[in-house]
Amino acid sequence: MTIANSNNLTIILFTPYSSGNFLANVLSYNKNFIPKYNLQKNILPNLLDYTDINHKHNTILRSVPEKNQVTNWHSYELLCTLFYSKDTYVKPYPNWETEKDVIQILRNKKLYISTNKEKINKFIPKFLEANIKIFGVAHVVLQVDLIKLIFPEAKVIQLVNYEKIRELSIKLKVKHDPTHFFHLIKDHHLVTYKDAYQFDIGTLFDKDAFFKEVYKLLDWYDIEDKTLHTNVNEYYEKYVGLYA
């Protein structure tokens, strides 16, 4: 049994260190979306409190470390593992080096769905039913197929033209011993995912061009309000400022 209203989930498909989570946070400044909160610690009494712009903005700003903490980036960013489940996003998490784990799981779809649907945080179906749009990430095409076993109508955005931002992000975020992060920083070439929206992340450092792409992306969604709260500018400047 799959989770209903899964068209309110958007999977962002990107090779690691290409600012996919940044894009999700930017889109969360639209009233229809929320960022990947820590649902283990950040439990609010009312579901709609999660859509409050001040709460969203403060959560997103805290995901950007100070420059002297930038190599601890993973301790700051909003992770799927804290949003969807206390254990993991989709378990077992696919090995994007060989992809053999994903292929094996896809051969036994019923078992995967039955053992993993119950591990999804109980708030997730409530968000989807309330027409609140949420985000997930994938780093290989097969992982999208895996997520869609539970969220069959999920939308997919694929980041393209990412080479520059990825190179800069690895230099900025990875500690001096890159071998520790080899499984993340090695070259990950993604084939085009069918029906995915192709988002040009290469515009990131040109503010006007970047937000032009963001508003084109918002037009892709079936939503009435296609605006971003002005607080997004503070987040954009704080994030981009780390690369200066």
pLDDT average, residue stretch 79-104: 62
Range of 23's domain?
6-241
pLDDT, averaged across the chain: 85
* pLDDT(231) > 90: yes
Q: How confident is the model at residue 117 (pLDDT cuts 50, 70, 90)?
A: confident
Mean pLDDT check: name the lowest of 126-140, 153-167, 187-201: 187-201
**Which two three-digit tokens encode residue 185?**
């920083």
* Residue 192, domain member (yes or no): yes
Q: What is the rounded CA–CA span in Å between residue 156 and residue 200?
A: 14
* Residue 224, domain member (yes or no): yes
Q: Tell me, what DSSP letter sits at residue 116? A: H
* Residue 1, domain member (yes or no): no
User: How much is the pTM?
Assistant: 0.88
**Is there a contact between 173 and 17 (Cβ–Cβ < 8 Å)?**
yes
Number of domains in the chain: 1
pLDDT average, residue stretch 42-57: 89
Q: What is the rounded CA–CA span in Å between residue 126 and residue 90?
A: 18
* 205-219 tens-digit pLDDT: 999 999 999 999 999
Which is higher by pLDDT, 137 or 79? Answer: 137
* pLDDT(182) > 50: no
Q: What is the rounded CA–CA span in Å between residue 9 and residue 131?
A: 10
How much is the pLDDT for 5?
Answer: 95
* pLDDT(183) > 60: no
How much is the pLDDT for 14?
Answer: 92
Q: What is the rounded CA–CA span in Å between residue 64 and residue 77?
A: 7
The beta strand positions in the chain, using DSSP E, are 9-13, 134-138, 155-160, 197-200
* pLDDT(23) > 70: yes
Give one DSSP letter per residue of 79-99, joined into a string.
Answer: PHHHHT-SS-SSSSPP-TTT-
What is the layout of strands, in order, in the sheet containing 155-160?
134-138, 9-13, 155-160, 197-200
* Residue 151, domain member (yes or no): yes
* Residue 27, domain member (yes or no): yes
